Structure 1
Amino acid sequence: MIDNREYGGVCSQRGCDPKKLLLASSEAFQKAKDIKGDGIAGDVSINWRDAYNYARRYTANIPSNTEKDLKSKGIKCFHGEAKFINPNTVILDDEEIQADNFVIATGMQPLTLGIPGEEYAQTSGEFYELKDAPEKVVFIGGGYIGMEFSHLLHRAGSKVTVIEKGDQILNPFESFTANLLEKESSQMGINIIKNAQVSSIEKVDDRFIVYYAIDNNIHQITTDCVFNTAGRVPSIKTLHLEKANVVTDKGGVVVNEYLQSTTQTHIYACGDVSSKSLPLTPLSGIEANVVGNNLTGKKQKLEITAIPSSVYTIPQCAGIGMTEQQAKDSNKKYHIKEEDSRGWFNNRRINASLYGYKLIIEKESDAILGAHIVGPEAAEQINMFAIAMKAGMTFKELKKVIFNYPTWGNDLKSF
């Protein structure tokens, strides 16, 4: 196994896990704020340094423990940049390593902005090295990373601006839920600028000026730090895959249903770097099992059902299956159920500010084509739809399930 960084991967070190650990204080802060005067007294604030230390206490030992566990299983572990020199050989620090099979699991890396001053923009990985909340911060890109980070720092006291080049944040989430979250974020005090193209970043003393264009007019904003959250691309550039005759496209290594390279069947790709993948941790685990089985002689194809995806802002935004636009483009005959549900009991119980949903139901079969929720527990509620869609349940059958009351899951019966 060769990794150019510490072992453990993005999710445990620079992604899902530290993000949700930092989020714990934001969730507690928001709940206390929402219920103030209805049972909570006094002021609550976030100490970002304490939140940072809390997250690091959890993640600190993961690399060493991971590498120790791998070595205990007889796996040879290396660090550095491996490059293919032919289909059966990689070179690492002038050492040639040959193998009968290769598995490429290099994940993704931040998209290059391609603008002057890009070197001043920090990446999502560097966000987790931020020991103190800046006074002002700009995020270039309003995808799930940019929106999650903006919510974290806003509640920690930073003045946050998000610059998005498109006309919707959280593309490709359902516009109904994304637009509700955008409105809520703006009302909180997050400055969201859409249809704007960042043209350059300039460093002046200890601060930065971000220049961006809207309708051919140049604007600027001064900030303490800038983050590139414009998206991520497959991490394949340094592998020299062309020397192994491995075909790639914008989605990564082009693979077949067994996750083998279509041009070199002894080379596999799984996780975010595979052309058949989405950047989601649970899917990467499934793909790893498929590759493992195929390497050990158990022929297995990758079979993917509907995949839930969530944005851990406050409130959360989650979706599974088709958006309405995708259903329309597929010529599906469907009907829509959508509602602003902020007046429902579970939302009112905690004085939360936003709760709503949108469902896309196939007319003839009553099949659930897509489900989209924005609210305090959207990420857990969407799991109910994942189970239903995996089991082939119709929407009417899902509503007949007896749920514990009064839970967020039980709210599905009112959808």
Structure 2
Amino acid sequence: MEKYDVFVLGTGTAGKLVANRCKDAGLKVGIIDNREYGGTCSQRGCDPKKLLLASSEAVDFARNMKGDGFEGDANINWRDAYNYIRRYTQNIPDNTEKSLKKNNIDCYHGDGKFIDEKTFTFDDTTITADIFVIATGMQPRPLSIPGADHMLTSEDFFKMKDLPEKMVFAGGGYIGMEFSHMMARAGVKVTVIEQSNQILSPFEKYVADYLMEDSIKLGIDIKLDSTLSSVEKNGDRFVVHYGHEGSVHQVTTDMVYNTTGRVPSTKTLDLDKAGVVTDGGSVVVNDCLQSTTNKRFYACGDVSSMNLPLTPLSGLEANIAAKNITEGKHPMVPIDIPSVAFTIPQVASIGLTEEQATEQNKKFKVLKDDASGWFNTRRMNAGAYAYKVIIEEETGMVLGAHIVSHEAGETINLFSVAMNHNITFQHLQQTIFTYPSWANDLKSF
């Protein structure tokens, strides 16, 4: 039986950061992962996705500029793109583990569970610790429909060496829409089945609808208000059944992906035996990232109940957790967090939607417009560009900002600075930016 001051479950952004900070503070630290070291974002999430996106962006730019400076055909070589991401990800597990070991952190591999609040066991090994940190991240949401075992997940997407003729994505959220845009530009006939009345349902509908229009122009067949009912194997292909307006429809495809979302990876840990309460799989924590029912446990990253499952937030939460473990009470201060869907164009958001501001009885004004005819879009013959900014009437502070454009993911960062550092929208507009940049467009919002 090995005894630690701190034992961390998960080696992604949050887990490895907590482990290193605690070790640097002089504590005895161990860490474990039931998969390759390095976590989701670097190997089967954000980073490889952005690497694949680069090919789509290059093709999109070239095709838009054909006849206006670009000559010839632009196409995606998927096998080359696949090899590109493999070169990036292949050394991450070994490098991550070597780095942790270099800091004298004991590294384990295995899939374990808790016996009680002090004891964690896996294989033939038993661990006890004064503090446990849950940083196990998320995994694809399992579905219980008939034929769900025929469905692939986002993890399979990054292992796909060759492209099929047709694909179906069950879910039009971040993952479904990002993958759909890549595949459509690679020549795959794509269908998206979404149960709500809009794609990207967490986002402001005003900007999501612009992306919807561009997605349809790209050739993506989007089925809204539709519920996946079953998947049936038919030879080498699959028949996907879904309900819409009271009747059952079907579409035949070569591959069908479950992109309905992700859930915390805690089900097999038996956290209830450690006296740790979860909600929908998320560890319920206080503002110090400490379990509300067991002070020996902390949770950070995607698995905590605190906020959105975003990599920058995982790092922030890990810092807070580490400080609370090593120094004492350091509550997490509420912040406004930007998010972006890396489609083409991108959709980005921060703060309240107009509907949320109304529900909270805020007094506000709305600035919105279709900016597709503005210079930055016209210069590259690009598609949608629109915005909606929600301004508090009394203070002039930004309550929410929502953008669809080719650089929405960068522009939204300016609103993040303003909202988190008490800068009014008027002062933001009075700032001198480079011209003619996307940031400078804020002056015309």
The TM-score with structure 1 as length reference comes to 0.99
**Distance between the aligned counterparts of 1:127 and 1:195, measured in 2?**
25
Cα shift at 1:10: 0.5
**Cα distance, 1:293 vs structure 2:** 1.0
Match of 1:88 among 103, 109, 118: 118
1:40 corresponds in structure 2 to: 70
Question: Which of 405, 410, 417 is residue 375 of structure 1 equivalent to?
Answer: 405
1:75 is displaced (CA, Å) by: 0.9
CA contact (8 A) 1:338 1:359 kept: yes
How many angstroms apart in 2 are the aligned matches of 1:186 and 1:304? 38
Counterpart of 2:153 in structure 1 is 123
1:8 alignment partner AA: G
- Matched with 2:203 is 173
Q: C-alpha distance in 1, partners of 2:322/2:185?
A: 43
CA drift of 1:314 comes to 0.3
Question: 2: distance between equivalents of 1:160 and 1:138?
Answer: 6
Determine the structure 2 residue equivalent to 1:18.
Answer: 48
**Following superposition of structure 1 onto structure 2, how do residues 141-156 of structure 1 map, counting pairs within 5 Å?**
141-156=171-186
2: CA distance, partners of 1:75 / 1:304: 31
- Asked if 2 retains the 8 angstrom alpha-carbon contact of 1:88 and 1:100, the reply is yes
Aligned equivalent of 2:295: 265
Whether 1:103 and 2:133 are equivalent positions in the alignment is: yes
Please point out which of 373, 392, 398 is paired with 1:343: 373
Distance 1:215 1:349 in 2: 42
**CA drift at 1:363:** 1.1
Q: Is the 8 A contact 1:2 1:82 kept in 2?
A: no
Question: How far apart, in 2, do the equivalents of 1:258 and 1:360 lie?
Answer: 31
User: What is aligned with 2:248?
Assistant: 218
Q: Paired residue for 2:25?
A: none
Q: Distance in 2 between matches of 1:113 and 1:169?
A: 20
Aligned amino acid, residue 357 of structure 2? A
Distance 2:245 2:63 in 1: 39
Distance in 1 between residues matched to 2:281 and 2:396, nearest whole Å: 33
What is the CA-CA distance between 1:216 and the residue it aligns to?
Answer: 2.3
State the match for 1:243 in structure 2: 273
Instruction: Look up the SS of the partner of 1:142 in the other structure.
Output: coil
1:299 deviates by: 2.5
Provide the rounded CA distance (Å) in 1 between the counterparts of 2:367 and 2:342.
24
Contact 1:270-1:277 within 8 A present in 2 as well: no
Q: What are the ranges of 5 or more consecutive residues in structure 2 without an aligned counterpart?
A: 1-30
Q: Aligned equivalents of 2:58 and 2:345: distance in 1?
A: 13
Root-mean-square deviation (CA, aligned residues, Å) is: 0.9
Q: Take 1:297 and 1:319, find their aligned partners in 2: how far apart are those partners?
A: 34
Which residue does the alignment assign to 2:224? 194
- For residues 163 and 331 of structure 2, the distance between their equivalents in structure 1, rounded to whole angstroms, comes to 46
Q: CA deviation at 1:73?
A: 0.6
Q: Which sits farther off after the overlay, 250-259 or 325-334?
A: 250-259
> Which of 406, 410, 413 is the equivalent residue of 2:440?
410
Instruction: Indicate yes or no: 2:424 matched with 1:387.
Output: no
2:343 equivalent in structure 1: 313
Task: Give the ranges of 4+ consecutive aligned residues of structure 1 lying more than 6 Å apart after TM superposition.
Answer: none
- Partners of 1:145 and 1:112 in 2: CA distance: 15
The number of residue pairs the alignment matches comes to 415
Aligned equivalent of 1:50: 80
Once residues 304 and 282 of structure 1 are traced to their aligned partners in structure 2, the CA distance between those partners, rounded to angstroms, is 14
Q: In 1, are the aligned partners of 2:207 and 2:386 still within 8 Å (CA)? A: yes
